[in-house]
């Protein structure tokens, strides 16, 4: 079993829809949770990050962490064609030397 599981999709939705992306994990030591966005043939860029449980909102994006269920989510409201990309969840334990563990990535397409 992988430490981090993410549905690879692909996921295709119409413009303006609410998008929900999810990851589950098995390592209870994970405390830092991140979402990266990766456009085709580019490196990932950090989109959202949270520490431990709770919600965090930034514009149209909301990240949620439920540590009791080992489940994290990213919601995109009023989705735009420019949101079309691969979204990767990533997580790590406490301490600067902790390695970042990634999910498989979900390929998202927003149709105009």
Partner 1 sequence: DGGITQSPKYLFRKEGQNVTLSCEQNLNHDAMYWYRQDPGQGLRLIYYSQIVNDFQKGDIAEGYSVSREKKESFPLTVTSAQKNPTAFYLCASKQGSGNYGYTFGSGTRLTVV
Q: Which residues bind partner 1 (CB under 8 A)?
A: 4, 6, 8, 32, 34, 41-46, 49, 88, 90, 92, 94-100, 102-105
At which residue do the structure tokens 């990851």 appear?
A: 23
What is the closest distance, in whole angstroms, from the C-beta atom of residue 92 to partner 1 in the complex?
Answer: 6
Closer residue to partner 1 in complex, CB, 79/106: 106
- Rounded CA separation 101/97 (Å): 13
Of the candidates 110, 92, 105, 112, the one whose C-alpha atom is nearest the C-alpha of residue 42 is 105
Closer residue to partner 1 in complex, CB, 12/77: 12
3-state secondary structure of 50: strand
What is the closest distance, in whole angstroms, from the C-beta atom of residue 104 to partner 1 in the complex?
Answer: 4
């Amino acid at each position: 079993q992988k430490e981090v599981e993410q549905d690879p999709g692909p996921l295709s939705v119409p413009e303006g829809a609410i998008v929900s992306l999810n990851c589950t994990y098995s390592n209870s030591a994970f405390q830092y949770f991140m979402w990266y966005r990766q456009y085709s043939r580019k490196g990932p860029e950090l989109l959202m990050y949270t520490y431990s449980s709770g919600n965090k909102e930034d514009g149209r994006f909301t990240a949620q962490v439920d540590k009791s269920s080992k489940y994290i989510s990213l919601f995109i409201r009023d989705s735009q064609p420019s949101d079309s990309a691969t979204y990767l969840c990533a997580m790590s334990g406490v301490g600067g030397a902790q390695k970042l563990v990634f999910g498989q990535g979900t390929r998202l397409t927003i149709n105009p």
